[in-house]
Amino acid sequence: MTDKTLEQMRSEYGLGELDVHQVGDDPLVQFKTWLDQAIESKALEPTAMNLATATKDGLPMCRVLLLKGLDHGLIFYGNYNSVKGQHLAENPNACINFYWPSLERQVRITGRVEKLPREESVRYFKARPLASQIGSYVSKQSQIVESRAVLDQAVEALKDVTEIDCPEHWGGYRLIPEYFEFWQGRAGRLNDRICYKPTDGGWQKNRLSP
């Protein structure tokens, strides 16, 4: 593939439109509506989200995770000792981005991240498949590992185990939203963008230029 080929790659959008008057006053409700539509449309991995974090000095990093809950914030789980865990411990500001290409939509949500209460993390951990529990137990996430065989041997050593306790280094997070942006692809790259910013007792909606 050449740079010229990359320059020429593009898709035209035109499945829908988005206006301030078409979205609700509560961005969390609006997000749930779009998420439900993504799930109902059989979009590939509709709960997949790109989580961006940064060090206290502002060095960014992002990775794809799965959304695991939605209440007054967005819930996800992981290893507290991982790179993302270390970032969030020193800088709780983060950004989540959902992209559903089959619907020509994306949503960006920024806010501050807090740890879930321990009992919520334990409850979810116990509800996971045993193979996932074992994977979280043996993985020293983000640390250098000698080989795949080392991981396989650690898993093999637990093959007869029927129950795993939730590790202290593993648990949940909740991102409390402080900004939302809803994006709908449109023809000619004149995409629709609607943002929500908090005001006293509510949210202010505005259209953004593409």
User: Residue 199 class from Cβ within 10 Å (0-12 exposed, 13-18 middle, 19+ buried)?
Assistant: exposed
- pLDDT value for 146: 87
- pLDDT value for 139: 86
- pLDDT value for 117: 97
In a domain? residue 151: no
- pLDDT value for 28: 97
Distance CA 123, CA 129 (A): 13
- pLDDT value for 208: 97
In a domain? residue 195: yes
- pLDDT value for 11: 83
Distance CA 87, CA 146 (A): 24
In a domain? residue 143: no
Distance CA 127, CA 179 (A): 31
Please give the residue range of the domain that contains residue 96: 12-128+168-208
User: In terms of DSSP H, where are the helices of the chain?
Assistant: 3-8, 27-40, 83-90, 118-127, 130-138, 148-156
CB 151 within 8 A of CB 203: no
Confirm whether 189 is a catalytic residue: yes
- pLDDT value for 85: 97
- pLDDT value for 87: 97
For 53, 100, 184, 191, 198, the CA distances from 93, given in Å and listed in that order, are: 7, 24, 25, 27, 16
Q: Which DSSP state fits 102?
A: G
Task: Chunk the chain into consecutive blocks of 10 residues (it has 210) and report each block's average pLDDT, rounded to whole numbers.
Answer: 79 90 95 98 97 96 97 97 96 98 97 98 96 90 87 88 92 98 95 96 95
Q: Which of 128, 148, 186, 189 is catalytic?
A: 189
* Count of domains forming the chain: 1
CB 13 within 8 A of CB 187: yes
- pLDDT value for 158: 87
Q: For residue 89, what is the domain's CATH number?
A: 2.30.110.10
In a domain? residue 134: no
In a domain? residue 163: no
Strand ranges (E), the chain = 48-54, 60-66, 69-70, 74-79, 93-100, 105-115, 170-184, 192-199, 202-208
- pLDDT value for 143: 83
* Contact partners, residue 47, CB within 8 Å, separation at least 6: 35, 39, 66, 67, 68
In a domain? residue 64: yes
In a domain? residue 180: yes
- pLDDT value for 4: 75
